[in-house]
Protein backbone atom coordinates (compact mmCIF):
# COMPACT_ATOMS: atom_id res chain seq x y z
CA UNK A 1 0.00 0.00 0.00
CA UNK A 2 1.50 3.30 -1.04
CA UNK A 3 1.08 6.62 0.71
CA UNK A 4 -1.39 7.56 -2.03
CA UNK A 5 -3.63 4.52 -1.46
CA UNK A 6 -3.38 4.24 2.32
CA UNK A 7 -6.54 5.53 4.06
CA UNK A 8 -6.15 9.05 5.39
CA UNK A 9 -5.60 9.37 9.10
CA UNK A 10 -8.91 9.05 10.89
CA UNK A 11 -10.85 8.69 7.64
CA UNK A 12 -11.36 4.92 7.41
CA UNK A 13 -10.91 1.66 9.22
CA UNK A 14 -8.79 -1.20 7.99
CA UNK A 15 -8.45 -4.90 8.78
CA UNK A 16 -6.11 -6.31 11.39
CA UNK A 17 -3.19 -8.52 10.49
CA UNK A 18 -3.66 -12.21 11.26
CA UNK A 19 -1.40 -12.00 14.31
CA UNK A 20 -3.35 -8.99 15.58
CA UNK A 21 -6.67 -10.75 15.03
CA UNK A 22 -5.59 -13.81 17.01
CA UNK A 23 -4.33 -11.68 19.89
CA UNK A 24 -7.40 -9.42 19.85
CA UNK A 25 -9.83 -12.37 20.04
CA UNK A 26 -7.89 -14.08 22.84
CA UNK A 27 -7.90 -10.91 24.90
CA UNK A 28 -11.55 -10.26 24.12
CA UNK A 29 -12.53 -13.72 25.34
CA UNK A 30 -10.43 -13.36 28.48
CA UNK A 31 -12.27 -10.12 29.29
CA UNK A 32 -9.13 -8.29 30.43
CA UNK A 33 -5.91 -6.84 29.08
CA UNK A 34 -3.38 -9.65 28.75
CA UNK A 35 -0.86 -8.17 26.36
CA UNK A 36 0.42 -4.98 28.00
CA UNK A 37 4.13 -4.69 27.13
CA UNK A 38 6.01 -2.38 29.51
CA UNK A 39 9.67 -1.47 29.58
CA UNK A 40 10.80 0.00 32.89
CA UNK A 41 14.04 1.88 33.51
CA UNK A 42 15.74 3.38 36.52
CA UNK A 43 17.12 6.82 35.67
CA UNK A 44 19.81 8.31 37.90
CA UNK A 45 20.93 11.86 37.20
CA UNK A 46 19.38 15.14 36.07
CA UNK A 47 16.14 14.24 34.29
CA UNK A 48 14.39 16.76 32.05
CA UNK A 49 10.80 15.57 32.47
CA UNK A 50 9.19 17.77 29.75
CA UNK A 51 11.89 16.66 27.30
CA UNK A 52 11.24 12.99 28.09
CA UNK A 53 7.47 13.31 27.76
CA UNK A 54 7.84 15.31 24.57
CA UNK A 55 10.20 12.72 23.09
CA UNK A 56 7.71 9.94 23.82
CA UNK A 57 4.88 11.84 22.15
CA UNK A 58 7.03 12.60 19.11
CA UNK A 59 7.80 8.89 18.70
CA UNK A 60 4.05 8.25 18.83
CA UNK A 61 3.45 11.04 16.33
CA UNK A 62 5.90 9.46 13.88
CA UNK A 63 4.40 5.95 13.83
CA UNK A 64 0.82 5.21 12.82
CA UNK A 65 0.72 1.98 14.85
CA UNK A 66 1.14 3.91 18.10
CA UNK A 67 -1.84 6.14 17.23
CA UNK A 68 -4.15 3.26 16.33
CA UNK A 69 -7.58 2.59 17.80
CA UNK A 70 -9.29 -0.82 17.64
CA UNK A 71 -13.06 -0.88 17.23
CA UNK A 72 -15.69 -3.45 16.26
CA UNK A 73 -17.53 -3.03 12.95
CA UNK A 74 -20.19 -5.59 11.98
CA UNK A 75 -18.86 -7.94 14.63
CA UNK A 76 -15.24 -7.83 13.43
CA UNK A 77 -12.26 -5.91 14.81
CA UNK A 78 -11.04 -2.99 12.71
CA UNK A 79 -8.21 -0.54 13.24
CA UNK A 80 -7.89 3.09 12.34
CA UNK A 81 -5.21 5.71 12.87
CA UNK A 82 -5.96 9.02 14.59
CA UNK A 83 -3.96 12.22 14.49
CA UNK A 84 -3.83 12.68 18.27
CA UNK A 85 -0.35 11.78 19.59
CA UNK A 86 -1.09 12.61 23.23
CA UNK A 87 0.32 10.04 25.67
CA UNK A 88 -0.87 10.21 29.29
CA UNK A 89 1.90 10.43 31.88
CA UNK A 90 1.18 9.46 35.48
CA UNK A 91 3.66 11.29 37.74
CA UNK A 92 4.12 10.00 41.29
CA UNK A 93 6.42 11.60 43.86
CA UNK A 94 7.82 9.24 46.51
CA UNK A 95 10.88 11.33 47.37
CA UNK A 96 9.38 12.16 50.78
CA UNK A 97 9.70 8.51 51.84
CA UNK A 98 12.87 6.87 53.19
CA UNK A 99 14.70 5.15 50.30
CA UNK A 100 13.79 1.58 51.25
CA UNK A 101 10.10 2.42 51.75
CA UNK A 102 10.08 4.41 48.52
CA UNK A 103 11.41 1.43 46.56
CA UNK A 104 8.84 -0.92 48.06
CA UNK A 105 6.03 1.50 47.30
CA UNK A 106 7.31 1.96 43.74
CA UNK A 107 7.29 -1.82 43.23
CA UNK A 108 3.69 -2.01 44.44
CA UNK A 109 2.66 0.82 42.13
CA UNK A 110 4.38 -0.78 39.14
CA UNK A 111 2.65 -4.11 39.80
CA UNK A 112 -0.70 -2.34 39.94
CA UNK A 113 0.09 -0.37 36.78
CA UNK A 114 0.90 -3.57 34.90
CA UNK A 115 -2.64 -4.82 35.61
CA UNK A 116 -4.33 -1.64 34.43
CA UNK A 117 -6.41 -2.37 31.30
CA UNK A 118 -6.16 -0.60 27.97
CA UNK A 119 -9.33 0.70 26.33
CA UNK A 120 -8.28 -0.08 22.77
CA UNK A 121 -11.31 1.59 21.22
CA UNK A 122 -10.65 4.91 22.96
CA UNK A 123 -6.86 4.68 23.05
CA UNK A 124 -4.10 5.43 23.08
CA UNK A 125 -2.29 2.05 23.10
CA UNK A 126 0.57 3.73 24.98
CA UNK A 127 1.03 5.23 28.44
CA UNK A 128 3.84 6.51 30.66
CA UNK A 129 4.44 6.22 34.40
CA UNK A 130 7.16 8.30 36.05
CA UNK A 131 8.00 7.74 39.72
CA UNK A 132 10.30 10.18 41.52
CA UNK A 133 12.31 8.37 44.20
CA UNK A 134 14.76 11.21 44.93
CA UNK A 135 15.73 14.51 43.28
CA UNK A 136 18.16 12.64 41.00
CA UNK A 137 16.48 9.23 40.81
CA UNK A 138 13.38 8.23 38.85
CA UNK A 139 11.65 5.11 37.58
CA UNK A 140 10.36 5.53 34.03
CA UNK A 141 7.93 3.03 32.50
CA UNK A 142 6.63 3.17 28.95
CA UNK A 143 3.85 0.65 28.28
CA UNK A 144 2.66 -0.26 24.80
CA UNK A 145 -0.03 -2.76 23.92
CA UNK A 146 1.42 -5.78 22.11
CA UNK A 147 -1.09 -5.26 19.28
CA UNK A 148 1.04 -2.32 18.12
CA UNK A 149 4.59 -3.47 18.88
CA UNK A 150 7.03 -6.35 19.19
CA UNK A 151 10.55 -6.75 20.57
CA UNK A 152 12.15 -5.36 17.41
CA UNK A 153 9.83 -2.36 17.47
CA UNK A 154 10.82 -1.70 21.07
CA UNK A 155 14.57 -2.11 20.95
CA UNK A 156 15.45 -1.17 17.37
CA UNK A 157 12.97 1.62 16.67
CA UNK A 158 11.11 3.10 19.65
CA UNK A 159 14.00 3.29 22.11
CA UNK A 160 16.51 4.35 19.45
CA UNK A 161 14.26 7.22 18.40
CA UNK A 162 13.47 8.09 22.02
CA UNK A 163 17.16 8.54 22.85
CA UNK A 164 17.71 10.72 19.79
CA UNK A 165 14.66 12.89 20.42
CA UNK A 166 15.39 13.31 24.14
CA UNK A 167 19.01 14.21 23.38
CA UNK A 168 17.92 16.76 20.81
CA UNK A 169 15.62 18.45 23.31
CA UNK A 170 18.12 18.46 26.15
CA UNK A 171 21.10 19.63 24.11
CA UNK A 172 19.15 21.97 21.85
CA UNK A 173 20.22 20.31 18.61
CA UNK A 174 17.89 20.25 15.63
CA UNK A 175 19.04 17.38 13.41
CA UNK A 176 15.77 15.84 12.14
CA UNK A 177 15.13 12.11 12.20
CA UNK A 178 14.73 10.30 8.93
CA UNK A 179 11.06 10.31 7.86
CA UNK A 180 9.05 7.14 8.46
CA UNK A 181 8.43 5.66 5.01
CA UNK A 182 6.32 2.59 5.79
CA UNK A 183 3.63 2.01 8.38
CA UNK A 184 1.87 -1.07 9.71
CA UNK A 185 -1.02 -0.71 7.27
CA UNK A 186 1.51 -1.31 4.48
CA UNK A 187 2.38 -4.65 6.05
CA UNK A 188 -1.29 -5.63 6.48
CA UNK A 189 -1.83 -4.88 2.79
CA UNK A 190 1.30 -6.85 1.79
CA UNK A 191 0.17 -9.85 3.87
CA UNK A 192 -3.28 -9.84 2.25
CA UNK A 193 -1.70 -9.84 -1.23
CA UNK A 194 0.79 -12.56 -0.24
CA UNK A 195 -2.06 -14.82 0.88
CA UNK A 196 -3.40 -14.69 -2.71
CA UNK A 197 -0.01 -15.54 -4.25
CA UNK A 198 1.49 -18.87 -5.42
CA UNK A 199 3.95 -18.64 -2.51
CA UNK A 200 1.04 -19.09 -0.09
CA UNK A 201 -0.06 -22.25 -1.91
CA UNK A 202 3.46 -23.70 -1.78
CA UNK A 203 3.94 -22.96 1.91
CA UNK A 204 0.51 -24.31 2.85
CA UNK A 205 1.38 -27.56 1.07
CA UNK A 206 4.55 -27.82 3.17
CA UNK A 207 2.65 -27.36 6.40
CA UNK A 208 -0.01 -29.89 5.42
CA UNK A 209 2.74 -32.48 5.04
CA UNK A 210 4.70 -31.43 8.11
CA UNK A 211 1.71 -31.32 10.47
CA UNK A 212 -0.34 -34.21 9.11
CA UNK A 213 -2.03 -35.94 12.04
CA UNK A 214 -0.37 -33.74 14.65
CA UNK A 215 -1.92 -33.29 18.09
CA UNK A 216 -1.17 -30.80 20.86
CA UNK A 217 1.63 -31.79 23.21
CA UNK A 218 0.10 -33.74 26.12
CA UNK A 219 0.28 -32.40 29.63
CA UNK A 220 3.71 -32.90 31.14
CA UNK A 221 3.85 -35.33 34.04
CA UNK A 222 5.04 -32.39 36.18
CA UNK A 223 1.82 -30.42 35.63
CA UNK A 224 -0.59 -29.79 38.49
CA UNK A 225 -3.37 -32.35 38.80
CA UNK A 226 -5.92 -29.83 40.09
CA UNK A 227 -8.55 -28.34 37.80
CA UNK A 228 -7.05 -25.54 35.66
CA UNK A 229 -7.89 -21.92 36.39
CA UNK A 230 -8.14 -19.11 33.78
CA UNK A 231 -4.65 -18.16 32.61
CA UNK A 232 -4.52 -14.38 32.99
CA UNK A 233 -1.12 -13.99 34.68
CA UNK A 234 2.28 -15.59 34.29
CA UNK A 235 5.29 -16.19 36.52
CA UNK A 236 8.97 -16.32 35.60
CA UNK A 237 12.12 -18.20 36.46
CA UNK A 238 15.61 -17.25 35.24
CA UNK A 239 18.52 -19.66 34.79
CA UNK A 240 22.14 -18.93 33.92
CA UNK A 241 24.38 -21.52 32.29
CA UNK A 242 28.01 -21.97 33.37
CA UNK A 243 30.51 -20.28 31.08
CA UNK A 244 32.43 -23.53 30.34
CA UNK A 245 29.15 -25.09 29.18
CA UNK A 246 28.36 -22.13 26.94
CA UNK A 247 31.85 -22.32 25.42
CA UNK A 248 31.42 -26.04 24.73
CA UNK A 249 28.03 -25.43 23.12
CA UNK A 250 29.50 -22.90 20.71
CA UNK A 251 32.34 -25.27 19.86
CA UNK A 252 29.86 -28.13 19.26
CA UNK A 253 27.79 -25.90 16.99
CA UNK A 254 30.83 -25.12 14.87
CA UNK A 255 31.74 -28.79 14.58
CA UNK A 256 28.21 -29.91 13.70
CA UNK A 257 27.44 -26.87 11.49
CA UNK A 258 24.33 -25.99 13.49
CA UNK A 259 23.21 -22.87 15.30
CA UNK A 260 23.18 -22.45 19.06
CA UNK A 261 19.39 -22.46 18.96
CA UNK A 262 19.32 -25.83 17.21
CA UNK A 263 21.41 -27.29 20.04
CA UNK A 264 19.21 -25.74 22.73
CA UNK A 265 15.98 -26.87 21.08
CA UNK A 266 17.31 -30.41 20.68
CA UNK A 267 18.17 -30.58 24.36
CA UNK A 268 14.83 -29.21 25.55
CA UNK A 269 12.94 -31.52 23.19
CA UNK A 270 14.64 -34.46 24.89
CA UNK A 271 13.69 -33.04 28.29
CA UNK A 272 10.06 -32.73 27.20
CA UNK A 273 10.05 -36.28 25.84
CA UNK A 274 10.85 -37.65 29.30
CA UNK A 275 7.65 -36.08 30.68
CA UNK A 276 5.08 -37.05 28.02
CA UNK A 277 3.77 -40.49 27.03
CA UNK A 278 4.16 -40.21 23.23
CA UNK A 279 6.94 -39.54 20.74
CA UNK A 280 5.23 -36.74 18.75
CA UNK A 281 6.56 -33.48 20.19
CA UNK A 282 4.95 -30.23 19.02
CA UNK A 283 6.30 -26.90 20.23
CA UNK A 284 6.32 -23.41 18.78
CA UNK A 285 8.99 -20.83 18.15
CA UNK A 286 8.66 -17.14 17.41
CA UNK A 287 9.47 -16.02 13.90
CA UNK A 288 8.91 -12.71 12.22
CA UNK A 289 7.75 -11.03 9.04
CA UNK A 290 10.63 -8.54 8.80
CA UNK A 291 12.46 -10.34 6.00
CA UNK A 292 11.45 -7.51 3.66
CA UNK A 293 13.75 -4.49 4.07
CA UNK A 294 10.96 -1.92 3.86
CA UNK A 295 9.59 -3.14 7.22
CA UNK A 296 12.88 -2.93 9.12
CA UNK A 297 12.04 0.42 10.74
CA UNK A 298 8.28 -0.11 10.95
CA UNK A 299 6.62 -0.23 14.37
CA UNK A 300 4.01 -2.94 14.76
CA UNK A 301 3.29 -6.59 15.52
CA UNK A 302 5.41 -8.65 13.13
CA UNK A 303 5.63 -11.84 15.21
CA UNK A 304 4.57 -15.17 13.73
CA UNK A 305 4.32 -18.41 15.69
CA UNK A 306 6.04 -21.27 13.87
CA UNK A 307 5.15 -24.86 14.83
CA UNK A 308 8.09 -27.26 15.28
CA UNK A 309 7.28 -30.97 15.17
CA UNK A 310 9.77 -33.71 15.98
CA UNK A 311 9.40 -37.47 16.41
CA UNK A 312 11.43 -38.58 19.40
CA UNK A 313 11.57 -42.25 20.34
CA UNK A 314 12.15 -42.78 24.03
CA UNK A 315 15.77 -43.86 23.56
CA UNK A 316 16.74 -41.29 20.90
CA UNK A 317 20.11 -39.77 21.76
CA UNK A 318 21.08 -36.11 21.47
CA UNK A 319 23.37 -36.57 18.45
CA UNK A 320 20.74 -38.72 16.74
CA UNK A 321 18.01 -36.11 17.27
CA UNK A 322 20.09 -33.07 16.31
CA UNK A 323 19.98 -33.61 12.48
CA UNK A 324 16.19 -33.97 12.61
CA UNK A 325 15.82 -30.73 14.57
CA UNK A 326 18.24 -28.96 12.20
CA UNK A 327 16.37 -30.10 9.08
CA UNK A 328 12.98 -29.29 10.61
CA UNK A 329 14.07 -25.77 11.56
CA UNK A 330 15.58 -25.08 8.13
CA UNK A 331 12.33 -26.15 6.44
CA UNK A 332 10.36 -24.04 8.90
CA UNK A 333 12.39 -20.93 8.13
CA UNK A 334 11.80 -21.44 4.40
CA UNK A 335 8.02 -21.52 5.03
CA UNK A 336 7.67 -18.86 7.71
CA UNK A 337 5.42 -16.38 5.88
CA UNK A 338 2.13 -18.23 6.40
CA UNK A 339 0.43 -16.63 9.42
CA UNK A 340 -0.02 -19.10 12.27
CA UNK A 341 -3.66 -18.06 12.74
CA UNK A 342 -4.36 -18.81 9.06
CA UNK A 343 -2.48 -22.11 9.35
CA UNK A 344 -4.60 -23.18 12.33
CA UNK A 345 -7.77 -22.38 10.39
CA UNK A 346 -6.62 -24.06 7.16
CA UNK A 347 -5.54 -27.29 8.87
CA UNK A 348 -8.31 -27.39 11.47
CA UNK A 349 -5.91 -27.39 14.43
CA UNK A 350 -8.37 -26.78 17.22
CA UNK A 351 -8.24 -27.07 20.98
CA UNK A 352 -11.02 -26.62 23.50
CA UNK A 353 -11.29 -23.41 25.48
CA UNK A 354 -8.89 -20.50 25.40
CA UNK A 355 -5.74 -22.60 25.29
CA UNK A 356 -3.65 -22.43 22.10
CA UNK A 357 -2.89 -25.48 19.96
CA UNK A 358 0.78 -24.94 20.76
CA UNK A 359 1.16 -24.88 24.53
CA UNK A 360 4.99 -24.89 24.79
CA UNK A 361 7.12 -22.24 23.09
CA UNK A 362 10.92 -22.27 22.73
CA UNK A 363 12.55 -19.16 21.26
CA UNK A 364 15.93 -17.49 20.92
CA UNK A 365 16.07 -13.73 21.42
CA UNK A 366 18.00 -12.25 18.51
CA UNK A 367 17.05 -8.60 19.00
CA UNK A 368 19.92 -6.71 20.70
CA UNK A 369 18.68 -5.17 23.94
CA UNK A 370 20.71 -1.96 24.08
CA UNK A 371 19.80 0.50 26.83
CA UNK A 372 18.78 3.99 25.64
CA UNK A 373 21.62 6.47 26.02
CA UNK A 374 20.16 9.62 27.59
CA UNK A 375 22.52 12.55 28.31
CA UNK A 376 23.17 13.11 32.00
CA UNK A 377 21.44 9.88 33.04
CA UNK A 378 22.55 6.43 34.08
CA UNK A 379 19.93 4.06 32.64
CA UNK A 380 19.30 0.49 33.87
CA UNK A 381 16.51 -1.91 32.98
CA UNK A 382 14.11 -3.15 35.68
CA UNK A 383 12.58 -6.56 35.03
CA UNK A 384 8.96 -7.60 35.52
CA UNK A 385 6.90 -10.74 34.99
CA UNK A 386 5.65 -10.65 31.37
CA UNK A 387 2.52 -12.45 30.20
CA UNK A 388 2.61 -15.42 27.87
CA UNK A 389 -0.42 -17.40 26.64
CA UNK A 390 1.64 -20.61 26.73
CA UNK A 391 1.87 -22.97 29.68
CA UNK A 392 5.66 -23.01 29.21
CA UNK A 393 7.48 -20.29 27.27
CA UNK A 394 11.26 -20.76 27.26
CA UNK A 395 13.43 -17.98 25.86
CA UNK A 396 17.21 -17.99 25.50
CA UNK A 397 19.37 -14.85 25.67
CA UNK A 398 23.06 -14.21 25.11
CA UNK A 399 24.10 -11.30 27.32
CA UNK A 400 27.55 -9.99 28.21
CA UNK A 401 29.23 -13.06 26.76
CA UNK A 402 27.01 -15.50 28.69
CA UNK A 403 23.93 -17.63 28.08
CA UNK A 404 20.75 -17.26 30.12
CA UNK A 405 17.25 -18.69 29.91
CA UNK A 406 13.92 -17.23 30.99
CA UNK A 407 10.99 -19.56 31.57
CA UNK A 408 7.64 -17.78 31.58
CA UNK A 409 5.04 -20.22 32.85
CA UNK A 410 1.41 -20.61 33.79
CA UNK A 411 1.36 -20.92 37.62
CA UNK A 412 -2.08 -22.51 37.40
CA UNK A 413 -0.48 -25.54 35.72
CA UNK A 414 3.11 -25.62 36.97
CA UNK A 415 4.69 -24.93 40.32
CA UNK A 416 7.98 -23.04 40.62
CA UNK A 417 9.65 -26.28 41.75
CA UNK A 418 8.44 -28.06 38.60
CA UNK A 419 9.83 -25.29 36.40
CA UNK A 420 13.16 -25.36 38.23
CA UNK A 421 13.25 -29.11 37.72
CA UNK A 422 12.85 -28.62 33.95
CA UNK A 423 15.59 -25.98 33.82
CA UNK A 424 17.95 -28.16 35.86
CA UNK A 425 17.23 -31.09 33.55
CA UNK A 426 17.97 -28.87 30.55
CA UNK A 427 21.33 -27.86 31.99
CA UNK A 428 22.24 -31.49 32.65
CA UNK A 429 21.15 -32.47 29.13
CA UNK A 430 23.35 -29.79 27.59
CA UNK A 431 26.25 -30.70 29.85
CA UNK A 432 26.01 -34.38 28.92
CA UNK A 433 25.74 -33.59 25.22
CA UNK A 434 28.83 -31.38 25.15
CA UNK A 435 31.14 -32.90 27.74
CA UNK A 436 34.24 -34.45 26.17
CA UNK A 437 35.23 -38.00 27.07
CA UNK A 438 37.19 -38.37 30.27
CA UNK A 439 36.78 -37.47 33.93
CA UNK A 440 34.35 -34.68 34.87
CA UNK A 441 36.10 -31.43 35.79
CA UNK A 442 34.84 -29.47 38.79
CA UNK A 443 34.07 -26.32 36.82
CA UNK A 444 31.89 -28.18 34.29
CA UNK A 445 29.00 -28.29 36.72
CA UNK A 446 29.54 -24.95 38.42
CA UNK A 447 26.37 -22.99 38.85
CA UNK A 448 26.31 -19.41 37.68
CA UNK A 449 24.04 -17.21 39.83
CA UNK A 450 20.84 -16.28 38.00
User: Is the pLDDT at 51 greater than 60, yes or no?
Assistant: yes
Instruction: Give, as one character, the DSSP assignment of residue 125.
Output: S
pLDDT at site 449:
39
User: What residues does each domain of the chain span?
Assistant: 18-186, 194-367+378-445
What is the arithmetic mean of pLDDT over 86-111?
96
How does the average pLDDT of the chain come out, rounded? Answer: 91
| CA–CA gap between residue 152 and residue 297 (Å, rounded) | 9
Say if CB 280 and CB 311 are below 8 A apart: yes
User: Is the pLDDT at 409 greater than 70, yes or no?
Assistant: yes
Question: Which pLDDT band holds residue 227 (cuts at 50, 70, 90)?
Answer: low
Residues in the chain: 450
pLDDT at site 351:
65
| CA–CA gap between residue 301 and residue 289 (Å, rounded) | 9
Say if CB 111 and CB 129 are below 8 A apart: no
What is the arithmetic mean of pLDDT over 445-449?
45
Long-range contacts of 84-88 (CB under 8 A, 24+ apart): 84/123, 84/124, 85/57, 85/58, 85/60, 85/61, 86/57, 86/124, 87/53, 87/56, 87/57, 87/60, 87/124, 87/126, 87/127, 87/128, 88/124, 88/127, 88/128
* Domain 194-367+378-445, CATH class in plain words: alpha beta
Kindly report, residue by residue over 337-377, the tens digit of the pLDDT.
Answer: 999 999 998 988 876 655 567 899 999 998 888 999 999 99
Question: Which pLDDT band holds residue 209 (cuts at 50, 70, 90)?
Answer: very high
What is the arithmetic mean of pLDDT over 13-26?
94
User: Is the pLDDT at 7 greater than 50, yes or no?
Assistant: no
How many Cα atoms sit within 13 Å of 38 on the Cβ side?
27
Task: Please tell me if the domain spanning 18-186 has the same topology as the one spanning 194-367+378-445.
Answer: yes
Into which CATH architecture does domain 18-186 fall? 2-Layer Sandwich (3.30)
Kindly report, residue by residue over 252-306, the tens digit of the pLDDT.
Answer: 999 999 999 999 999 999 999 999 999 999 999 999 888 889 999 999 999 999 9
The CA dihedral of 419, 103, 398, 359, to the nearest 10 degrees, is 30
pTM: 0.91
Question: Which pLDDT band holds residue 156 (cuts at 50, 70, 90)?
Answer: very high
Amino acid sequence: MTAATRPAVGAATGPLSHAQSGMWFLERRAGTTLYAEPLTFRLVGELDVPALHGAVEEVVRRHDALRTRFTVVDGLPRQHVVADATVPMARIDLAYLPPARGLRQAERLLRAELGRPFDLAVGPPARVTLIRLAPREHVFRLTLHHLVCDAWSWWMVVLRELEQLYTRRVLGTHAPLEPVRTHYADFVDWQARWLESPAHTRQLAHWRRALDGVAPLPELALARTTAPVPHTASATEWAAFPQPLYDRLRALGRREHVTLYMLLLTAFTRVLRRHVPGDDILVGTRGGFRSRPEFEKTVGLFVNMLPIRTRVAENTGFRELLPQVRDTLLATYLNRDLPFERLVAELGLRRAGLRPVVNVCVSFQTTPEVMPRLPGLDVTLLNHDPYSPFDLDLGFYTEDGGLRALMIYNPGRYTRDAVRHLLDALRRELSDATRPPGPVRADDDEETPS
